[in-house]
Amino acid sequence: MIKYLNPSYIFNLTGKILNLVKFFIIPIVIVGIIFSLFLSPEDYIQGDAVRIMYVHVPAAWISLLCFGTLSLLCIINFIFKIKSMSLVFKSLAPIGLTFNIIAILTGSLWGQPTWGTWWEWDARLTSMLILMFFYIAFILSYKFIKDPINSSKISTLISLAGLINLVIIKYSVIWWSTLHQPASVNLAGETTIHISMLIPLSVMLLAFLLYSALIFLMKYRIETIRVKRKGLK
């Protein structure tokens, strides 16, 4: 067990995983683009605007996944005080924020032709915007609070408050009347999206996940090297 927690072992392992991700990401991205732009049909109401979904939906899912992961890791770190966990936070949080912004921007691009407006202060859109501010607050807590104990406490509080917002994002279309449509893909229930759109959506989600893994591993390795260099000074 000690071997697997050794920083050198983890650094070497991330290097191997990084090479594996690099091998698969380009062909999967190409397949996803072909399916999304050419093979997937137009929507009978939205037309070609529906293709924005293949970026918007995976981006939204990944932003939620990243923040949920951060929250879980914050709780674990608060209990067990894992020194290297801050490297994970610094590597993962910017990825979640990036996809959060992409989801908001593509949602606006999707909303204009579909709803006739770039923005609407309904529950789903507003809670996604609030998530962006949680991400920013989380990143700033690690960037500007130098004391690791205080930084850990504040980031944990931010993540716990953000978890409440994740629940609101999930159930906002059920609890309130909104412009945003209910979920079409349900792992525990009925999936209403047609297979011709589900396939490109799934491929694009996989492509985005691989891209997130690529950026995370590169960032994590950079942060690890930076910490080692500081330790040698």
Tens of pLDDT, residues 152-193: 899 999 999 999 999 999 998 888 877 777 777 776 667 778
Which domain range does residue 101 map to?
12-41+51-181+201-232
Model confidence at 2, pLDDT cuts 50, 70, 90, reads: very low
Contact status, residue 166 vs residue 131, Cβ threshold 8 Å: yes
Residue 189 within any structural domain of the chain:
no
Residue 155 lies in a domain: yes
Does some domain include residue 83? Answer: yes
Residue 23 has pLDDT above 80, yes or no: yes
Percentage above 70 pLDDT, the chain = 95
pLDDT one-digit tens code per residue, 34-62: 999 999 999 887 888 899 999 999 999 99
- 47, β-bridge pairs: 43
Question: Of all helices (H) and strands (E), which one includes residue 62?
Answer: helix 53-80
Nearest to 97 by CA among 61, 63, 138, 128: 63
**Percent of the chain whose pLDDT exceeds 90:** 59
Is a pLDDT exceeding 80 seen at residue 214?
yes
Is 187 inside any structural domain? no
> Is a pLDDT exceeding 80 seen at residue 149?
yes
The per-residue pLDDT of the chain, averaged, comes to 89
The reported pTM is 0.92
d(CA 152, CA 175): 33
Question: Averaged over 102-118, what is the pLDDT?
Answer: 89
Q: How far apart are CA 74 and CA 92, in angstroms?
A: 12
Give SS3 for 43: strand
> Which pLDDT score, from 0 to 100, does residue 198 have?
93
Write out the two tokens for 199.
């396939």
* Backbone torsion region of residue 120, taken as left when φ is above 0, otherwise alpha when ψ lies between -120 and 50, otherwise beta: beta
Alpha helices in 81-122 (DSSP H): 85-115
Is position 176 within any domain?
Answer: yes
Per the listing, tokens 């930084």 go with 151
Q: Give the separation between CA 60 and CA 124, rounded to whole angstroms.
A: 11
- The answer to whether residue 89 sits within a structural domain is yes
In a domain, 214, yes or no: yes
Q: For 91-105, 182-196, 198-212, which range has the lowest pLDDT when averaged over its residues?
A: 182-196
User: Which residue in this structure is represented by tokens 């349900």?
Assistant: 186
**Which pLDDT does position 208 carry in this prediction?**
98
Total number of domains in the chain: 1
Domain presence at residue 96: yes
